[in-house]
Amino acid sequence: MFIIIGLMLTGILLGYLLRKQNLNKIHTVITLLIWLLLFILGIEVGGNEQIVKGLHTIGLEAVILTIGGTAGSVIAAWGLWKALYKRKGGQL
């Protein structure tokens, strides 16, 4: 846990020190690293027999969580929109 926090703080420090530098290519590097991590995660999941055997159950739970999360976000956004719209006297 301390290693993760230390790495995060090191990244923050480097970002602070390099904030004036032109880092246009960093987004491409980050994207490629995320793809690599997702690929390695897929290999790990595919190699785990328990996960593969329970994939139908995990898939159903994922669908339920996705629908619930999306519905909750839409309802919360709608409620916030209505509250802000009403507060400004009907004009946004």
pLDDT digits (tens, 9 = 90+) for 23-44: 888 889 999 999 999 999 999 9
**CA 11, 15, 18: angle at the middle one, nearest 5?**
135
34-76: per-residue pLDDT in tens?
A: 999 999 999 998 899 888 888 778 778 888 999 999 999 999 9
Higher pLDDT, 21 or 35: 35
Higher pLDDT, 14 or 92: 14
CA distance 5 to 12: 11
9-41: buried (b, 16+ CB within 10 Å) or exposed (e) per residue? eeeeeeeeeeeeeeeeeeeeeeeeeeeeeeeee
E strands in 6-91: none
- With 0.95 as the threshold, say if the pTM is over it: no
Tokens of 60: 């159903």
Tokens of 87: 């507060």
| Residue-level pLDDT at 88 | 66
